[in-house]
Structure 1
Amino acid sequence: MPPTTRLPRAQRRRQLMDISLRVFAEKGYHAASMDDIAEAADVSKPVLYQHFTGKYELFLTLLDEQLAVVRDAMVSAMAEAETNEERVRGAVRTLFEYMAREDGAHRIVFNSGLGNDTEVRQRVDQFNDALIGQISEHVFNETYLDDEQAKVIGHAMAGTVLTAARYWASRRRSGEESPSLHIDQVTEHTFQLLWQGIWTFQ
């Protein structure tokens, strides 16, 4: 291997995380190895271990980052909207756009193969609870539902959007996307399904 170009520590860490994201997204957690990541980054394994103690720590670091990316984007989309209709449409579009990212980042969050791992499950559960709280606060503050009822409906909404978006992303990855599955159409259809349901509570 040729000598590794020396980069400032923070820049090298960022590079390794970006490359690791692509490797995990493509191979999945279990199939990916530190050797794969080092090779893709064109660094030696000792360089990789200078920044991360192992594959699991590296994955959790990426997971934390991606959960924050999704949460911040969803919260921003809802906070910037002026009406409930705009909030729901914006939240749906934001999740589909995240699923459409070329780096496949959503597979770190939703298709890692570590759904039964305690640390991963706790992180995802905390993410879901925070997101549902935001949905309940922004979307249901103008309905007659109480807090607990709003949370139940918020979970139903989030589950519906996530299931639809994951299926859509899998079709895109397999090369089976058709014109009828253009992001504009699927996001609008998903929004209409949710909005018609929410409207009954207003």
Structure 2
Amino acid sequence: MGAAKSKRVPRAVRERQMMDAAVRTFARRGYRAASMDEIAELAGVSKPLVYLYLNSKEELFSAVIRREAAALVTAVTAAVEKDAAADRQLWCGLTGFFAHTAEHPEGWAVLHQQARTHGEPFAIEVAAMRAEIVRFVAGLIGAAAKEAGCAGELADREVAGLAHALVGAAESLAEWANTCAADGTSTLGVIGERERPTAKDAAGTLMNFAWAGLGRLMHGERWTPA
């Protein structure tokens, strides 16, 4: 009898392998320097198959951004304890954010570094993801204001501004936490001479920075220039 015919790999599995390889390649090489040959080799497939499934380098990069963005949004929203106090919900969401960016540093590098620097349509994809997270955080801040009994004192514009500021701070802190060592790796447990913060540590740092001020704001205390 002849050798048994090898089992055909399902398209969804093959596409995931290609996307995983693309994430690693784009994160390490950058969009411009990344080659379809390298992506195909890393995925263990032929370059024509990559083109057959994903059409072009531009479309592959867009697909990677959409996948990584959706995974990040899901991680943040799924981490929130719906019935918890407002500050607990925000802390949980931040913890989910930092946990995901730490566990997927290459996906985060694609979103935060690569996609933003190459213009449309890539920057638009990332902006849509960021807007979704900002809306979610704004909802948490609005809920906190309602819980504190000062919902009418915070205008929608102010809540939106606070949400943008908090998301921006979280992005900056995640970038710091995922800073690569001198050898270019992104999996080291230390940054310089300091231990890499855990997701809970990073979330706690941001809560201490932001929530202390938000908490005072919820109680009617506002900073004004002297």
TM-score normalized with structure 2 length: 0.79
Q: May I ask how many residue pairs the two structures share in their alignment?
A: 199
The residue aligned with 1:182 is: 197
The residue aligned with 1:166 is: 175
The residue aligned with 1:19 is: 21
**Matching residue within 191, 197, 201 for 2:207:** 191
- CA–CA distance in 1 between the matches of 2:155 and 2:80? 20
> Which consecutive unaligned segments of at least 5 residues does structure 1 have?
none
Runs of 4+ in 1 over 4 A off after TM superposition: none
- CA–CA distance in 1 between the matches of 2:215 and 2:123? 32
- CA–CA distance in 2 between the matches of 1:6 and 1:118? 37
Range with greater deviation from structure 2 (78-87 or 153-162): 78-87
Give the conservation status (yes or no) of the 8 Å contact 1:145–1:201: no
The residue aligned with 2:39 is: 37
Range with greater deviation from structure 2 (100-109 or 171-180): 171-180
- CA–CA distance in 1 between the matches of 2:210 and 2:195? 19
The residue identity in structure 1 corresponding to 2:166 is M
Q: Would the alpha carbon gap of residues 179 and 81 (structure 1) be closer, same or farther in structure 2, given more than 3 Å must change?
A: farther
Give the conservation status (yes or no) of the 8 Å contact 2:86–2:143: no
Shift of 1:182: 2.5
**Matching residue within 164, 167, 176 for 1:155:** 164
* CA offset digits 1:110-146 (Å, max 9, x no partner): 1116434111121122222221111111222332312
The residue aligned with 1:72 is: 74
Shift of 1:6: 4.0
Give secondary structure in 2 for the equivalent of 1:170. Answer: coil
Aligned-pair Cα RMSD in Å: 2.2
Identical amino acids, percent of aligned pairs: 23
Q: Which has the higher contact order (CA 8 A, sep 6+)?
A: 1
The residue aligned with 1:53 is: 55
Shift of 1:8: 2.0
**Matching residue within 9, 12, 23 for 1:10:** 12
- CA–CA distance in 2 between the matches of 1:115 and 1:102? 20
> Which consecutive unaligned segments of at least 5 residues does structure 2 have?
1-5, 146-152, 219-226
TM-score normalized with structure 1 length: 0.88
- CA–CA distance in 1 between the matches of 2:187 and 2:13? 33
Shift of 1:95: 1.7
